């Protein structure tokens, strides 16, 4: 009889927490879940969520009171190997190193003159040729250009490098003139003197013209009242380098509001900034025989025609009918990025069409004084490019050439 009483007391003592609605965790007392007596994985159920996965005592997957474990899978990782000890040459790739110091030593205007050679290689061969099959490499410093590619590609690279290091092209300069004509009727007398060339950019026209005829045309244009130049006279760029001419100027405006309920008047203006003007980037490169010239022309025109006002209601505690004004810009933008080839002994003439003027117009005393509605100024933007032959490394014009070139991640292969 005493043995039965002791057994009953032990049974009641073990079952007492269950009678109170608590769970018993043999691994961690006080846990809010119940664990199966088997040694394998099990599902832990909580009032605030669920988690399917293995649970161990104190491991990363342990569920604490109030925790919610999301049902997530392990992130997969790509298989990585060391690869072979040599570069793959399944397509006959070969390694070549080109000495580019004849060009980089004479280009003192740029901290990385070798980048111009890399940019022209990418323009000529295409960006995809170096980042797809076959395995390839293109790298350069101030002394050496390293190339790993097929023999066919190496011949293209060698020709471009020769065009940079050629002694015939050393100190060869190109003159530029950026002008605007309000009325495009200048074509009436000039068209018989010019020979059209193909242009792929929409709205852009191109011609080549003899240097003597170009000089006569320029003198005639200067006599017009609507003629205006937008770059310094005698501005030139040397072969293989890049020149950036810019008249961009920042224009600030109120583009929105930011609510600040803690301070009066309950908001603050959100300011924005736009660039208005033009940017021209010109990069010429002579052929090995100097008979023809290739050049990349990149033009960006941006004009703010007007600011459209918008009234916003911004009620606050002290002023329920409070209003403020923001501005929405109405803009005109033109972008041209194209490559041209023409005979070196002739002048390249490009017309962007009647577009937004790249700079502020000349004041007109009569029309400015009248309260008449005025539209944004328009003009025919013209670019004259002429080979000047060997010139002094100290280029005149007051503006040093810039080595800024097109981004290598942009390719226009197939457009030219």
The predicted-structure confidence for 287-320, as pLDDT tens digits, reads as follows 999 999 999 999 999 989 899 999 999 888 778 8
* E strand or H helix at 190: helix 187-190
pLDDT grade for 128, boundaries at 50, 70 and 90 = very high
Alpha-carbon distance of 273 to 205, in angstroms, equals 32
pLDDT at 345 over 90: yes
Q: Comparing C-alpha atoms, which of 148, 407, 156 is closest to residue 298? A: 407
Q: Comparing C-alpha atoms, which of 363, 383, 41, 48 is closest to residue 218? A: 383
Give the tokens for residue 297.
């022309």
pLDDT grade for 5, boundaries at 50, 70 and 90 = low
Q: Which residue has the tokens 């009248």?
A: 370
The mean pLDDT value for 194-213 works out to 95
Q: What number of residues does the chain have? A: 416
Q: Comparing C-alpha atoms, which of 340, 359, 358, 362 is closest to residue 349? A: 340
Give the tokens for residue 305.
């025609």
Instruction: Tell me which of 296 and 369 has the higher pLDDT.
Output: 296
| Range of lowest pLDDT (36-45, 88-97, 321-330) | 36-45
Residue 300 in contact with residue 335, Cβ under 8 Å?
yes
Helix/strand/coil for 5: helix
Q: CB neighbours of 412 closer than 8 A, spacing ≥ 6?
A: 123, 337, 338, 339
The whole-number pLDDT of residue 261 equals: 78
pLDDT at 140 over 80: yes
The mean pLDDT value for 57-63 works out to 44
Q: Beta strand pairing status for 172-181 and 236-238?
A: antiparallel
Find the Cα–Cα–Cα–Cα dihedral 189, 193, 197, 201, rounded to 10°: -20
- With a pLDDT cut of 90, the percent of the chain lying above it is 53
- The strand pairing partners of 144, in sequence order, are 99
Instruction: Tell me which of 194 and 321 has the higher pLDDT.
Output: 194
pLDDT grade for 76, boundaries at 50, 70 and 90 = low
Give the tokens for residue 30.
């006080």
Give phi and psi for 271, each to the nearest 5: -90, 145
The mean pLDDT value for 238-261 works out to 91
Instruction: Tell me which of 110 and 19 has the higher pLDDT.
Output: 110
Give the tokens for residue 83.
């690869």
The mean pLDDT value for 343-369 works out to 73
Instruction: Tell me which of 415 and 77 has the higher pLDDT.
Output: 77
Residue 116 in contact with residue 405, Cβ under 8 Å?
yes
Residue 225 Cα distances to 103, 136, 152, 370, angstroms: 44, 56, 55, 21
Angle between helices 151-165 and 114-125 (to 10 degrees): 140
The mean pLDDT value for 232-245 works out to 88
Residue 157 in contact with residue 121, Cβ under 8 Å?
yes
pLDDT grade for 31, boundaries at 50, 70 and 90 = very low
Q: CB neighbours of 211 closer than 8 A, spacing ≥ 6?
A: 345, 346, 347, 386
Give the tokens for residue 411.
């390719």
pLDDT grade for 9, boundaries at 50, 70 and 90 = low
pLDDT at 93 over 50: yes
pLDDT at 3 over 80: no
Q: Where are the domains of the chain?
A: 2-51, 94-165, 172-249+281-299+333-363+374-390
Half-sphere exposure of 108 (CA within 13 A, CB side): 5
pLDDT at 44 over 50: no
The whole-number pLDDT of residue 54 equals: 45
Helix/strand/coil for 89: coil
Alpha-carbon distance of 281 to 113, in angstroms, equals 16
pLDDT at 415 over 50: no
pLDDT at 361 over 70: no
- As a whole number, the mean pLDDT across the chain is 79
- Residue 292, judged by CB atoms within 10 A of its CB (0-12, 13-18, 19+), counts as middle
pLDDT at 51 over 50: no
The mean pLDDT value for 75-101 works out to 88
The mean pLDDT value for 200-211 works out to 94
The whole-number pLDDT of residue 397 equals: 40
The mean pLDDT value for 83-96 works out to 90
Alpha-carbon distance of 315 to 347, in angstroms, equals 63
The mean pLDDT value for 52-66 works out to 45
Q: Comparing C-alpha atoms, which of 272, 250, 254 is closest to residue 308? A: 254
pLDDT grade for 33, boundaries at 50, 70 and 90 = very low
Q: CB neighbours of 82 closer than 8 A, spacing ≥ 6?
A: none
Alpha-carbon distance of 326 to 82, in angstroms, equals 58
Instruction: Give yes or no for a cis peptide into 134 (omega within 30° of 0).
Output: yes
């Amino acid at each position: 009889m005493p043995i039965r009483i002791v057994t009953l007391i032990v049974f009641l003592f073990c079952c007492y927490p269950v009678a109170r609605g608590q769970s018993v965790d043999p691994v961690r007392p006080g846990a809010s879940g119940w664990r199966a007596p088997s040694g394998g994985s099990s599902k832990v159920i909580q009032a605030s969520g669920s988690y399917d996965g293995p649970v161990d005592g104190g491991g990363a997957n342990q569920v604490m009171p109030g925790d919610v474990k999301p049902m997530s899978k392990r992130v997969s990782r790509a298989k990585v190997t060391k690869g072979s000890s040599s570069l793959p040459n399944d397509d006959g790739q070969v390694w070549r190193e080109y000495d580019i110091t004849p060009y980089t030593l004479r280009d003192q205007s740029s901290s990385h003159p070798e980048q111009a050679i890399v940019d022209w290689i990418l323009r000529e061969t295409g960006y995809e040729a170096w980042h797809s099959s076959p395995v390839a490499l293109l790298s350069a410093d101030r002394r050496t250009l390293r190339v790993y590619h097929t023999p066919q590609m190496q011949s293209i690279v060698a020709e471009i490098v020769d065009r940079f290091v050629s002694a015939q092209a050393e100190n060869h300069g190109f003159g530029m003139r950026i002008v605007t004509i309000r009325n495009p009727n200048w074509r009436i007398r000039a068209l018989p003197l010019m020979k059209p060339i193909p242009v792929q950019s929409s709205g852009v026209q191109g011609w080549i013209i003899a240097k003597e005829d170009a000089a006569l045309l320029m003198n005639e244009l200067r006599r017009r009242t609507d003629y205006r130049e937008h770059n310094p006279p005698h501005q030139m760029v040397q072969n293989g380098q890049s020149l950036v001419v810019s008249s961009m100027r920042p224009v600030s405006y109120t583009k929105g509001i930011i609510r600040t309920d803690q301070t009066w008047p309950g908001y603050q203006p959100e300011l924005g900034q736009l660039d208005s003007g033009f940017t021209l980037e010109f990069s010429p490169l002579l052929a090995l025989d100097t008979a023809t010239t290739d050049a990349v022309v990149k033009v960006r025109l941006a004009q703010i025609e007007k600011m459209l006002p918008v009234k916003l209601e911004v009620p606050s505690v002290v002023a329920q009918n409070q209003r403020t004004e923001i501005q929405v810009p109405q803009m005109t933008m033109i972008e041209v990025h194209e490559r041209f080839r023409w005979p070196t002994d002739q002048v390249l003439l490009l017309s962007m069409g009647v577009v937004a003027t790249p700079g502020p117009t000349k004041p007109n005393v009569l029309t400015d004084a009248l309260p008449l509605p005025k539209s944004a100024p328009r003009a025919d933007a013209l670019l004259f490019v002429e080979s000047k032959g060997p010139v002094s490394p100290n280029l005149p014009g007051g503006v040093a050439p810039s080595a800024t070139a097109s981004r290598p991640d942009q390719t226009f292969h197939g457009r030219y």
